[in-house]
Structure 1
Amino acid sequence: MKQEFNADYWQNRYQLGQTGWDVGAITPPLREYFDQLTNKGQRILMPGCGNAYEAEYLFRKGFVHTYVADVAEAPLHRFSERVPDFPKDQLLLQDFFELDSQFDLIVEQTFFCAIDPSLRPDYARRCAELLVPGGKLVGLLFDTTFEHAGPPFGGSREEYRAYFEPYFEFLHFETAYNSIPPRQGRELFMELKKLGS
Protein backbone atom coordinates (compact mmCIF):
# COMPACT_ATOMS: atom_id res chain seq x y z
CA MET A 1 0.00 0.00 0.00
CA LYS A 2 1.29 3.43 -0.95
CA GLN A 3 2.24 5.68 1.99
CA GLU A 4 0.37 8.98 2.09
CA PHE A 5 2.65 11.80 3.18
CA ASN A 6 -0.11 13.94 4.64
CA ALA A 7 -0.36 16.30 7.62
CA ASP A 8 -0.78 13.42 10.10
CA TYR A 9 2.30 11.66 8.73
CA TRP A 10 4.51 14.75 9.10
CA GLN A 11 3.01 15.78 12.45
CA ASN A 12 3.87 12.31 13.76
CA ARG A 13 7.44 12.45 12.46
CA TYR A 14 8.05 15.83 14.08
CA GLN A 15 6.51 14.71 17.37
CA LEU A 16 8.69 11.57 17.38
CA GLY A 17 11.80 13.53 16.42
CA GLN A 18 12.19 11.56 13.17
CA THR A 19 13.79 14.47 11.33
CA GLY A 20 17.18 13.21 10.21
CA TRP A 21 17.32 15.78 7.40
CA ASP A 22 17.19 18.63 9.93
CA VAL A 23 20.73 19.90 10.59
CA GLY A 24 19.63 22.29 13.33
CA ALA A 25 20.70 25.50 11.60
CA ILE A 26 20.70 27.33 8.28
CA THR A 27 23.03 25.59 5.82
CA PRO A 28 26.00 27.48 4.28
CA PRO A 29 24.78 27.62 0.63
CA LEU A 30 21.55 29.39 1.57
CA ARG A 31 23.18 31.62 4.19
CA GLU A 32 25.70 32.81 1.61
CA TYR A 33 22.95 33.47 -0.94
CA PHE A 34 20.81 35.36 1.58
CA ASP A 35 23.76 37.50 2.64
CA GLN A 36 23.93 39.02 -0.85
CA LEU A 37 20.22 39.94 -1.00
CA THR A 38 19.51 43.65 -0.64
CA ASN A 39 15.75 44.07 -1.24
CA LYS A 40 14.28 43.62 2.21
CA GLY A 41 10.81 44.47 0.97
CA GLN A 42 10.42 41.33 -1.11
CA ARG A 43 7.86 38.66 -0.24
CA ILE A 44 9.59 35.36 0.48
CA LEU A 45 7.99 31.93 0.84
CA MET A 46 9.52 28.85 2.41
CA PRO A 47 7.19 25.90 1.58
CA GLY A 48 7.29 22.69 3.60
CA CYS A 49 9.33 24.79 5.99
CA GLY A 50 9.86 22.34 8.84
CA ASN A 51 11.83 24.08 11.59
CA ALA A 52 12.58 26.94 9.17
CA TYR A 53 16.03 28.02 10.30
CA GLU A 54 16.38 29.79 6.94
CA ALA A 55 13.23 31.83 7.56
CA GLU A 56 14.48 32.76 11.02
CA TYR A 57 17.78 33.92 9.52
CA LEU A 58 16.01 36.05 6.89
CA PHE A 59 13.60 37.54 9.42
CA ARG A 60 16.45 38.45 11.81
CA LYS A 61 18.22 40.18 8.89
CA GLY A 62 15.20 42.41 8.29
CA PHE A 63 13.32 40.48 5.60
CA VAL A 64 10.03 41.05 7.38
CA HIS A 65 7.80 39.75 4.56
CA THR A 66 8.98 36.15 4.97
CA TYR A 67 6.26 33.48 5.02
CA VAL A 68 6.58 29.87 6.12
CA ALA A 69 4.15 27.10 5.16
CA ASP A 70 3.79 23.53 6.38
CA VAL A 71 1.00 20.96 6.62
CA ALA A 72 2.17 19.92 10.10
CA GLU A 73 1.43 22.12 13.09
CA ALA A 74 4.36 20.92 15.25
CA PRO A 75 7.20 22.65 13.37
CA LEU A 76 5.21 25.86 13.00
CA HIS A 77 4.52 25.86 16.75
CA ARG A 78 8.21 25.30 17.53
CA PHE A 79 9.21 28.04 15.11
CA SER A 80 6.75 30.45 16.74
CA GLU A 81 8.20 29.66 20.17
CA ARG A 82 11.76 30.11 18.89
CA VAL A 83 10.97 33.34 17.01
CA PRO A 84 8.14 34.88 19.08
CA ASP A 85 8.21 38.21 17.22
CA PHE A 86 7.59 36.53 13.84
CA PRO A 87 4.13 37.66 12.60
CA LYS A 88 1.55 34.95 13.29
CA ASP A 89 -0.28 35.65 10.02
CA GLN A 90 2.92 34.71 8.14
CA LEU A 91 2.87 31.20 9.66
CA LEU A 92 0.78 29.29 7.14
CA LEU A 93 -0.66 25.94 8.23
CA GLN A 94 -1.43 25.04 4.63
CA ASP A 95 -0.69 22.66 1.83
CA PHE A 96 1.80 24.28 -0.57
CA PHE A 97 -0.29 23.14 -3.55
CA GLU A 98 -3.30 25.07 -2.20
CA LEU A 99 -1.55 28.36 -1.45
CA ASP A 100 -3.03 31.37 -3.20
CA SER A 101 -0.68 34.33 -3.06
CA GLN A 102 2.24 35.89 -4.91
CA PHE A 103 5.89 35.94 -3.90
CA ASP A 104 9.14 37.41 -5.18
CA LEU A 105 11.27 34.53 -3.95
CA ILE A 106 10.57 30.89 -3.06
CA VAL A 107 13.21 29.13 -0.97
CA GLU A 108 13.57 25.37 -1.42
CA GLN A 109 15.15 23.49 1.47
CA THR A 110 14.28 19.78 1.88
CA PHE A 111 10.63 20.17 0.80
CA PHE A 112 11.06 18.92 -2.77
CA CYS A 113 12.72 15.73 -1.46
CA ALA A 114 9.90 15.19 1.05
CA ILE A 115 6.95 15.13 -1.33
CA ASP A 116 5.94 12.08 -3.31
CA PRO A 117 8.10 12.11 -6.47
CA SER A 118 4.95 11.89 -8.61
CA LEU A 119 4.17 15.46 -7.48
CA ARG A 120 7.44 16.95 -8.74
CA PRO A 121 6.05 18.26 -12.05
CA ASP A 122 3.18 19.86 -10.09
CA TYR A 123 5.68 21.38 -7.67
CA ALA A 124 7.60 23.06 -10.50
CA ARG A 125 4.42 24.42 -12.07
CA ARG A 126 3.03 25.62 -8.74
CA CYS A 127 6.25 27.47 -7.90
CA ALA A 128 5.98 29.34 -11.19
CA GLU A 129 2.33 30.17 -10.52
CA LEU A 130 3.12 31.57 -7.06
CA LEU A 131 5.97 33.77 -8.29
CA VAL A 132 5.55 37.32 -9.59
CA PRO A 133 7.05 38.23 -12.98
CA GLY A 134 10.81 38.07 -12.53
CA GLY A 135 10.43 35.99 -9.37
CA LYS A 136 13.00 33.38 -8.40
CA LEU A 137 13.09 29.87 -7.04
CA VAL A 138 16.29 29.34 -5.05
CA GLY A 139 17.48 26.43 -2.99
CA LEU A 140 19.04 23.02 -2.69
CA LEU A 141 18.14 19.66 -4.21
CA PHE A 142 19.65 16.27 -3.42
CA ASP A 143 21.68 15.07 -6.42
CA THR A 144 21.90 11.50 -5.20
CA THR A 145 19.86 8.38 -4.59
CA PHE A 146 19.15 7.00 -1.14
CA GLU A 147 19.39 3.37 -0.11
CA HIS A 148 16.34 3.55 2.14
CA ALA A 149 12.74 4.19 1.16
CA GLY A 150 11.87 7.87 1.29
CA PRO A 151 11.22 10.47 2.30
CA PRO A 152 13.68 11.95 1.66
CA PHE A 153 13.59 10.98 -2.01
CA GLY A 154 16.63 11.54 -4.16
CA GLY A 155 17.08 12.10 -7.87
CA SER A 156 19.36 13.54 -10.52
CA ARG A 157 19.98 16.93 -12.06
CA GLU A 158 18.79 15.65 -15.45
CA GLU A 159 15.47 14.57 -13.93
CA TYR A 160 15.04 17.87 -12.11
CA ARG A 161 15.91 19.94 -15.17
CA ALA A 162 13.02 18.37 -17.07
CA TYR A 163 10.55 19.49 -14.38
CA PHE A 164 11.71 23.10 -14.21
CA GLU A 165 12.63 23.88 -17.85
CA PRO A 166 9.05 24.60 -18.99
CA TYR A 167 8.71 27.41 -16.44
CA PHE A 168 12.15 28.76 -15.54
CA GLU A 169 15.38 30.20 -16.87
CA PHE A 170 18.35 28.46 -15.23
CA LEU A 171 20.64 31.09 -13.71
CA HIS A 172 22.54 28.61 -11.58
CA PHE A 173 22.16 24.82 -11.39
CA GLU A 174 25.41 23.30 -10.17
CA THR A 175 26.82 21.16 -7.39
CA ALA A 176 26.98 23.28 -4.24
CA TYR A 177 30.60 23.94 -3.31
CA ASN A 178 29.86 24.78 0.32
CA SER A 179 27.50 22.01 1.45
CA ILE A 180 27.79 20.65 4.97
CA PRO A 181 30.24 17.68 5.03
CA PRO A 182 27.65 14.84 4.98
CA ARG A 183 26.08 16.36 1.83
CA GLN A 184 29.30 17.38 0.06
CA GLY A 185 29.06 16.60 -3.65
CA ARG A 186 25.44 15.46 -3.29
CA GLU A 187 23.57 18.76 -3.40
CA LEU A 188 22.63 21.01 -6.29
CA PHE A 189 22.31 24.73 -5.69
CA MET A 190 19.66 26.23 -7.96
CA GLU A 191 18.72 29.79 -8.81
CA LEU A 192 15.89 29.79 -11.32
CA LYS A 193 14.04 32.79 -12.74
CA LYS A 194 10.43 32.57 -13.86
CA LEU A 195 10.16 32.61 -17.64
CA GLY A 196 8.31 35.39 -19.46
CA SER A 197 9.50 38.08 -17.11
Structure 2
Amino acid sequence: MELNKNYWKKHYKDNDTGWDIGYPSTPIKEYIDQLTDKSINILIPGVGNGYELEYLWNQGFKNVYAIDITEEPIKSFLDRVPDFPKEHLFCENFFDASISTKFDLIIEQTFFCALNPNLRVQYVEEMHRFLNSQGKLAGLLFKFPLTQDGPPFGGSIEEYQPLFSKYFSIEQMEDCYNSIPPRQGNELFFILRKK
Protein backbone atom coordinates (compact mmCIF):
# COMPACT_ATOMS: atom_id res chain seq x y z
CA MET A 1 0.00 0.00 0.00
CA GLU A 2 1.42 3.37 -1.03
CA LEU A 3 0.38 6.17 1.31
CA ASN A 4 0.57 8.85 -1.36
CA LYS A 5 -1.56 11.80 -2.41
CA ASN A 6 -4.07 9.57 -4.24
CA TYR A 7 -4.49 7.34 -1.17
CA TRP A 8 -5.42 10.29 1.06
CA LYS A 9 -7.49 12.02 -1.63
CA LYS A 10 -9.65 8.90 -1.95
CA HIS A 11 -10.17 8.75 1.83
CA TYR A 12 -11.41 12.35 1.88
CA LYS A 13 -13.59 11.93 -1.22
CA ASP A 14 -15.15 8.75 0.24
CA ASN A 15 -15.57 10.46 3.64
CA ASP A 16 -13.48 7.62 5.08
CA THR A 17 -11.79 9.76 7.74
CA GLY A 18 -12.08 7.88 10.99
CA TRP A 19 -9.15 9.83 12.44
CA ASP A 20 -11.10 13.10 12.10
CA ILE A 21 -12.81 13.83 15.42
CA GLY A 22 -14.40 17.09 14.23
CA TYR A 23 -12.87 19.38 16.86
CA PRO A 24 -9.44 20.14 18.38
CA SER A 25 -8.01 17.16 20.23
CA THR A 26 -8.32 17.84 23.98
CA PRO A 27 -4.61 17.32 24.83
CA ILE A 28 -3.53 19.64 21.99
CA LYS A 29 -6.14 22.26 22.94
CA GLU A 30 -5.02 22.24 26.56
CA TYR A 31 -1.38 22.53 25.48
CA ILE A 32 -2.25 25.50 23.23
CA ASP A 33 -4.16 27.11 26.11
CA GLN A 34 -0.98 27.39 28.19
CA LEU A 35 1.05 29.07 25.39
CA THR A 36 1.51 32.74 26.27
CA ASP A 37 3.51 34.12 23.31
CA LYS A 38 1.05 34.48 20.44
CA SER A 39 3.74 35.77 18.06
CA ILE A 40 5.56 32.44 17.72
CA ASN A 41 5.77 30.65 14.37
CA ILE A 42 3.80 27.39 14.50
CA LEU A 43 3.53 24.59 11.93
CA ILE A 44 1.02 21.74 11.82
CA PRO A 45 2.11 19.07 9.32
CA GLY A 46 -0.49 16.69 7.93
CA VAL A 47 -3.08 19.18 9.12
CA GLY A 48 -6.15 17.43 7.70
CA ASN A 49 -9.31 19.46 8.32
CA GLY A 50 -7.31 21.68 10.66
CA TYR A 51 -9.37 21.95 13.83
CA GLU A 52 -6.23 22.69 15.89
CA LEU A 53 -5.16 25.24 13.27
CA GLU A 54 -8.57 26.90 13.45
CA TYR A 55 -8.38 26.97 17.24
CA LEU A 56 -4.92 28.59 17.16
CA TRP A 57 -6.12 31.21 14.67
CA ASN A 58 -9.22 32.01 16.72
CA GLN A 59 -7.07 32.35 19.87
CA GLY A 60 -4.99 35.07 18.20
CA PHE A 61 -1.99 33.11 16.92
CA LYS A 62 -1.39 34.68 13.51
CA ASN A 63 1.97 33.12 12.55
CA VAL A 64 0.48 29.67 12.05
CA TYR A 65 1.18 27.50 9.03
CA ALA A 66 -0.01 24.12 7.84
CA ILE A 67 0.77 21.52 5.25
CA ASP A 68 -1.21 18.61 3.86
CA ILE A 69 -0.58 16.31 0.92
CA THR A 70 -4.04 16.75 -0.58
CA GLU A 71 -6.25 19.76 -1.20
CA GLU A 72 -9.61 18.38 0.03
CA PRO A 73 -9.06 19.06 3.74
CA ILE A 74 -7.44 22.43 3.03
CA LYS A 75 -10.55 23.47 1.07
CA SER A 76 -12.71 22.31 3.97
CA PHE A 77 -10.61 24.34 6.39
CA LEU A 78 -10.86 27.49 4.23
CA ASP A 79 -14.64 27.08 3.99
CA ARG A 80 -14.75 27.31 7.80
CA VAL A 81 -11.99 29.94 8.20
CA PRO A 82 -12.10 32.11 5.05
CA ASP A 83 -9.98 34.88 6.58
CA PHE A 84 -7.01 32.57 7.14
CA PRO A 85 -4.02 33.65 4.98
CA LYS A 86 -3.84 31.21 2.05
CA GLU A 87 -0.08 31.75 1.77
CA HIS A 88 0.24 29.98 5.15
CA LEU A 89 -1.28 26.78 3.71
CA PHE A 90 0.85 24.37 1.70
CA CYS A 91 -0.64 21.55 -0.34
CA GLU A 92 2.36 19.30 -0.91
CA ASN A 93 4.29 16.35 0.41
CA PHE A 94 5.87 17.30 3.73
CA PHE A 95 9.15 15.64 2.75
CA ASP A 96 9.43 17.80 -0.38
CA ALA A 97 7.99 20.94 1.21
CA SER A 98 8.93 24.34 -0.19
CA ILE A 99 8.40 26.11 3.15
CA SER A 100 11.33 28.41 3.91
CA THR A 101 10.04 29.62 7.30
CA LYS A 102 11.59 28.22 10.48
CA PHE A 103 9.29 27.44 13.39
CA ASP A 104 9.31 27.86 17.15
CA LEU A 105 6.77 25.07 17.58
CA ILE A 106 5.59 22.15 15.47
CA ILE A 107 2.40 20.44 16.62
CA GLU A 108 2.12 16.71 16.02
CA GLN A 109 -1.44 15.48 15.68
CA THR A 110 -1.97 12.19 13.76
CA PHE A 111 0.73 12.94 11.16
CA PHE A 112 3.48 10.68 12.49
CA CYS A 113 1.11 7.71 12.80
CA ALA A 114 -0.15 8.19 9.23
CA LEU A 115 3.30 7.82 7.69
CA ASN A 116 4.87 4.58 6.59
CA PRO A 117 7.07 3.59 9.56
CA ASN A 118 10.12 3.43 7.28
CA LEU A 119 9.91 7.25 7.11
CA ARG A 120 10.28 7.78 10.86
CA VAL A 121 14.00 8.63 10.83
CA GLN A 122 13.41 11.07 7.97
CA TYR A 123 10.46 12.56 9.90
CA VAL A 124 12.72 13.29 12.87
CA GLU A 125 15.39 14.85 10.64
CA GLU A 126 12.84 17.07 8.87
CA MET A 127 11.25 18.22 12.12
CA HIS A 128 14.70 19.16 13.39
CA ARG A 129 15.43 21.06 10.17
CA PHE A 130 12.15 23.03 10.29
CA LEU A 131 12.64 24.21 13.87
CA ASN A 132 14.45 27.30 15.11
CA SER A 133 17.21 26.87 17.66
CA GLN A 134 15.56 25.65 20.88
CA GLY A 135 12.30 25.12 18.98
CA LYS A 136 9.82 22.50 20.21
CA LEU A 137 8.00 19.56 18.69
CA ALA A 138 4.97 18.71 20.81
CA GLY A 139 1.83 16.66 20.57
CA LEU A 140 0.59 13.10 20.54
CA LEU A 141 1.97 9.73 19.49
CA PHE A 142 0.03 6.51 19.50
CA LYS A 143 0.96 3.87 22.04
CA PHE A 144 0.01 0.47 20.73
CA PRO A 145 2.04 -2.27 19.07
CA LEU A 146 3.60 -1.37 15.75
CA THR A 147 2.30 -3.70 13.04
CA GLN A 148 1.94 -3.49 9.28
CA ASP A 149 -1.79 -2.86 9.80
CA GLY A 150 -2.16 0.85 9.38
CA PRO A 151 -2.46 3.69 9.19
CA PRO A 152 -2.57 4.50 11.99
CA PHE A 153 0.75 2.92 12.88
CA GLY A 154 1.60 2.55 16.54
CA GLY A 155 4.78 2.38 18.55
CA SER A 156 6.09 2.63 22.09
CA ILE A 157 8.15 4.85 24.36
CA GLU A 158 10.94 2.27 24.00
CA GLU A 159 10.97 2.91 20.24
CA TYR A 160 10.29 6.65 20.33
CA GLN A 161 12.94 7.71 22.85
CA PRO A 162 15.99 6.50 20.88
CA LEU A 163 14.36 7.63 17.63
CA PHE A 164 14.05 11.25 18.77
CA SER A 165 16.94 11.60 21.22
CA LYS A 166 19.66 12.06 18.58
CA TYR A 167 18.12 15.41 17.55
CA PHE A 168 15.94 16.38 20.51
CA SER A 169 15.99 16.65 24.28
CA ILE A 170 12.94 14.83 25.60
CA GLU A 171 11.25 17.20 28.05
CA GLN A 172 8.13 15.07 28.39
CA MET A 173 6.94 11.74 26.98
CA GLU A 174 4.32 10.03 29.07
CA ASP A 175 0.87 8.49 29.04
CA CYS A 176 -1.69 11.09 28.02
CA TYR A 177 -4.11 11.70 30.91
CA ASN A 178 -6.66 13.73 28.90
CA SER A 179 -7.11 11.74 25.69
CA ILE A 180 -10.53 11.72 24.08
CA PRO A 181 -12.45 8.57 25.18
CA PRO A 182 -11.87 6.47 22.00
CA ARG A 183 -8.10 6.99 22.35
CA GLN A 184 -7.86 6.63 26.14
CA GLY A 185 -4.82 4.53 27.08
CA ASN A 186 -3.45 4.60 23.53
CA GLU A 187 -1.73 8.00 23.42
CA LEU A 188 1.50 9.51 24.67
CA PHE A 189 1.85 13.26 25.12
CA PHE A 190 5.32 14.56 24.37
CA ILE A 191 7.35 17.76 24.29
CA LEU A 192 10.75 17.68 22.59
CA ARG A 193 13.25 20.51 22.36
CA LYS A 194 15.64 20.81 19.43
CA LYS A 195 19.26 20.10 20.35
> Which residue does the alignment assign to 1:19?
17
**Alignment partner of 1:113: what SS?**
helix
The CA distance in 1 between the partners of 2:156 and 2:139, in whole Å, is: 15
What is the DSSP-based 3-state SS (H/G/I as helix, E as strand, rest coil) of the residue aligned with 1:63? coil
1:127 maps onto 2:127 in alignment: yes
- Alpha-carbon distance between aligned partners in 1 of 2:41 and 2:90, rounded to the nearest angstrom: 14
**Contact 2:115/2:151 (<8 A) preserved:** yes
1:118 lines up with 2:113 in the alignment: no
TM-score when scaled to structure 2? Answer: 0.96
Which residue does the alignment assign to 1:95?
93
Residue aligning to 1:177: 177
In structure 1, the gaps of 5 or more residues are none
Give the corresponding residue for 1:151.
151
TM-score (norm. length: structure 1): 0.95
Match among 40, 43, 46 for residue 41 of structure 2? 43
How far does the alpha carbon of each residue in 1:11-42 deviate from its partner, in whole angstroms, 9 at most, with x for none? Answer: 11011111111111111111111001011111
Counterpart position of 1:79: 77
Alignment of 1:160 with 2:157, yes or no, is no
Contact kept? 2:137, 2:191, Cα under 8 Å: yes
Q: Larger deviation: 147-156 or 12-21?
A: 147-156
What amino acid is the match of 2:43?
A: L
Q: How many equivalent pairs are there?
A: 193
Mapped partners of 1:132, 1:17: distance in 2: 36
Shift of 1:146: 7.2
Cα contact 2:124–2:163 (8 A) shared by 1:
yes
Letter paired with 1:120: R
Q: CA RMSD in A?
A: 1.2
Please say which of residues 157-166 and 55-64 is displaced more in the overlay: 157-166
Unaligned stretches of 5+ residues in structure 2: none
Q: CA deviation at 1:147?
A: 7.8
Matched, 1:106 2:106: yes
CA distance in 2, matches of 1:144, 1:124: 20
TM-fit CA distance, 1:145:
2.9
User: Structure 1 residues 18, 124: CA separation in 2 closer, same or farther (over 3 Å shift)?
Assistant: same
